[in-house]
Amino acid sequence: VAGPFLGSPRQLNRRHESDAELLRLPSSEAVLAVTTDAIVEEIAAGLYQQPWLIGWMGVTVNASDLAAVGAEPLGVLMSVTLPADASGDLLEGLRAGIGAAALAYGLPLLGGDTNRGPVLALGGTALGLVRDGRPLTRCGARPGDCLMVSGPVGLGAAHAFERMIRRSTGAVDFRPVARLREGPRLRGLATACMDTSDGLIATLDELARRNGCGFRVTAPIERVLHPEARRTALEAGLPPWLMLAGPHGEFELVFTVPPEHVAALRDATVTDGWVPQELGRVTAEPGVVRLGADPVDTGAIRNLFDEVDGNVDAYLRALMAMA
Amino acid sequence: VAGPFLGSPRQLNRRHESDAELLRLPSSEAVLAVTTDAIVEEIAAGLYQQPWLIGWMGVTVNASDLAAVGAEPLGVLMSVTLPADASGDLLEGLRAGIGAAALAYGLPLLGGDTNRGPVLALGGTALGLVRDGRPLTRCGARPGDCLMVSGPVGLGAAHAFERMIRRSTGAVDFRPVARLREGPRLRGLATACMDTSDGLIATLDELARRNGCGFRVTAPIERVLHPEARRTALEAGLPPWLMLAGPHGEFELVFTVPPEHVAALRDATVTDGWVPQELGRVTAEPGVVRLGADPVDTGAIRNLFDEVDGNVDAYLRALMAMA
């Protein structure tokens, strides 16, 4: 619900300045992170079909927003809308997926709400805490900062391509993991952070706008692509960068790190057995995102899916025309 | 989503022991209250038709859960699902209703999520704080305690009767207010508390089960009924207690107070210009709720609506047969 916000003096972020809302708690230096996200269109479009995956995703989309602000998990509440003909298998699958994600993320299931409706929908609200009161936001990147990503990207696009264009199932093993363990490690080191839930290109577009900066991605696309995305692009004869165009992404974290903090970041992450990848640099060109030397019209790509009214074939044609 | 909870060691309540989930915050004596509630069936059934009322109710159902645990408001997040043909008027009305409620309750709108779906649905998550770490729950009532209610009840049933049985509109002025200002006043005085969102009889049934006690309502029904409910019952030739049978209630608080705290409660509430009404007493008869001298089968009444599969005519006939 857009419109004028009746803001809280406790809220640290304005709209879209961070992946989760940030609220200063009274008599404490801690900041509460809270986010609410529902999966409705994804289920309707057939992107997620197995009940287990739907449950897993309902938790994961919210967990990822906590990760991107560097919060430690407090818990999650789930709100499910069930159709009248919901089977026992559907319920069991949802529960199992929600439970597996809650366990994986150390995000206890605090409560929820069940409703009846015409179609299945799953919403969640995740709560986290930033004890030192210094959360990560989308704002703070500076020219010269190193641009990094928490892991390989493009899995979400590969999955969507398989499901929506090829209409095949099971070809891509899609079970993305939110970086809730890794996010808090970035506090004090990263200057800006955002997840890739809308695809890498949309993420870079948003970060560039928020920070009045640009990005130059110097890493070869093939090297940052998830193996499933690389294979999907190869088999379909698509240029690899299409797997970064979204709008269905995964849950890696894109973040910027001042050069003087890169060594400390390596130290902080390697102990977790986690190696963030270098993507490139933050530049002083406002709003310009370059893949190699070539500028990419990230704004146009980001809005394309809405502009073709969600028609996947038209979307792919338009995207190919941009290539 | 029922099923085994993957609990948090920070959570103070078990399922259904309180209207909101209660979470102890680290390095603080404060307790965070959080609740998530969506209105889906109510919209589908035509109970709420004006966009403004839908927005107001989406916030109110969540604010009321905060009130019932005695929490002070921190903020609310809204999750709206819009049909493809949603008009500008619908959006404006929703925003206005949400905004009016946020302002009325001092519950800032922190953020939200918008989705596309086949039908309009509105979910919310409210956050509150209990600074002294001693929230109200549904548990703690003792025989001999005074049974009280924050205001007149039956408005929700009167509205539902007008809409669902008479199929008329506008006859009942339905714009219920959550007791978020009053709830925190009850901390340290009330032993148990719950809102009447499912109707007074369902509330008493739940409190009796939770506390292994009974209730004897000695106040004349006519005196505790909302004027609109009294009028509706009179005009329709229904026994007044039917307006307490729900399952669509309002947002008054039912609570129990030890006799030695009643005077302090009167002092604490009168300064707000608020006079809670005495309903009766907590008794030692486990699970027995009496209206006057007569026991009422509250469990049967509470389950009746589900048993007739939500058929409102069958519901009313079955309820009349119980009278």
pLDDT by residue (tens digit) across B110-139? 999 999 999 999 999 999 999 999 999 999
DSSP characters over A104-139 = HHT--EEEEEEEE-SS-EEEEEEEEEETTS----S-
Instruction: Tell which A residues from 91 to 110 touch B, by Cβ distance under 8 Å.
Output: 91, 94-95, 98-99, 102-103, 108-110
Contact A3 B78 (CB under 8 A): no
Range of weakest confidence among A110-114, A272-276, B83-87: A272-276
Residue A1 has pLDDT above 60, yes or no: no
Interchain proximity A75–B11, CB inside 8 Å: yes
In this prediction, residues B6-11 reach a mean pLDDT of 86
Sign of CA dihedral B219, B221, B226, B231: negative
Residues listed for chain B: 323
Closest alpha carbon within chain A to B77: A36
Residues 6+ apart with CB under 8 A from A135: A12, A18, A20, A22, A31, A33, A69, A70, A71, A187
Stretch B84-99: mean pLDDT: 96
Dihedral angle of Cα A151, A156, A162, A164, to the nearest 10 degrees = -170
- The predicted model gives B152-164 an average pLDDT of 94
Cβ separation B11–A108 shorter than 8 A: yes
User: Nearest Cα to B42, choosing from B246, B281, B265?
Assistant: B246
Please, which pLDDT band fits residue A6 given cuts at 50, 70 and 90?
Answer: low
Nearest by CB to B112, which of A1, A4, A74? A1
Number of other CB atoms surrounding residue A111 within 10 Å: 24
Whether the pLDDT of residue B239 is over 50: the answer is: yes
Q: Is the pLDDT of residue A5 over 60?
A: no
Structure confidence at residue B164 (pLDDT): 87
- Sort strands A72-82 and A109-116 into parallel, antiparallel or unpaired: parallel
SS (H, E, C) chain B: CCCCCCCCCCECCCCCCCCCEEEECCCCCCEEEEEEEEECHHHHCCCCCCHHHHHHHHHHHHHHHHHHCCCEEEEEEEEEEECCCCCHHHHHHHHHHHHHHHHHHCCCEEEEEEEECCCCEEEEEEEEEECCCCCCCCCCCCCCCEEEECCCECHHHHHHHHHHHCCCCCCCCCCCCCCCCCHHHHCCCCCEEEECCCCHHHHHHHHHHHHCCEEEECCCHHHHECHHHHHHHHHHCCCHHHHHCCCCCCCCEEEEECHHHHHHHHHHHHCCCCCCEEEEEEECCCCCEEECCEEECHHHHHHHHHHCCCCHHHHHHHHHHHC
Q: How confident is the model at residue B200 (pLDDT cuts 50, 70, 90)?
A: very high
Longest dimension (CA), chain B: 58
Regarding beta strands B277-283 and B146-149, do their DSSP bridges make them parallel or antiparallel, or are they unpaired? antiparallel
- Inform me whether the C-beta atom of residue A14 falls under 8 Å from chain B C-beta atoms: no
What would the mean pLDDT of B59-74 be, rounded to a whole number?
98
Instruction: Give residue A165's pLDDT band: very low, low, confident or very high (50, 70, 90).
Output: confident
One-character DSSP codes across A302-323: HHHHHHTTT-HHHHHHHHHHH-
More confident residue, A181 or B167: A181
Q: Kindly give, in sequence order, each residue whose CB lies less than 8 Å from that of residue B67, ignoring residues fewer than 6 positions away.
A: B178, B179, B180, B182, B183, B195, B251, B253
A78, β-bridge pairs? A112, A124
Percent share of chain A, pLDDT over 90 = 84
Q: What is the band of A206 on the pLDDT scale with cuts at 50, 70, 90?
A: very high
Examine the pLDDT at A2 and tell me if it is beyond 60. Answer: no
**In chain A, which residues have their Cβ closer than 8 Å to the Cβ of B114?**
1-2
pLDDT at residue B219 tops 90: yes
Residue A248, CA atoms < 13 Å, CB-side half-sphere: 25
**For residues A33-48, average pLDDT:** 95
Tell which residue, A49, A284, A290, A88, has the closest CA to residue A170: A49
Higher pLDDT, B270 or A256: A256
Q: How many CB pairs under 8 A join A and B?
A: 197
Note whether B167 contacts A: Cβ–Cβ < 8 A: no
Q: What is the mean pLDDT of chain B?
A: 94
- What pLDDT does A322 receive? 84
Question: What is the pLDDT, as a whole number, of residue B1?
Answer: 45
DSSP category for residue A293 = T
- Between residues 138 and 157 of chain B, which touch chain A (CB distance below 8 Å)? none
Q: With contact defined as beta carbons under 8 Å apart, do A248 and A305 qualify?
A: no
Residue A309, pLDDT > 50, answer: yes
Q: Write down the mean pLDDT value for chain A.
A: 94
Cβ of residue B26 closer than 8 Å to a chain A Cβ: yes
Round to whole Å and give the CA distance between A199 and A238: 16
Which residue in chain A is spatially nearest to B73 when comparing CA positions? A8
Percent of chain B at pLDDT > 90 equals: 84
pLDDT digits (tens, 9 = 90+) for A99-153: 999 999 999 999 999 999 999 999 999 999 999 999 999 999 999 999 999 999 9
* Chain B contact present for A132, CB below 8 A: no
Q: Residue A113: list chain B partners with CB under 8 A.
A: 36-38, 123
Which residues numbered 31-60 in A keep a CB inside 8 Å of some CB on B?
Answer: 32, 34-41, 44
Q: Facing residues of B195 across strands?
A: B253
CA distance A303 to A290: 18
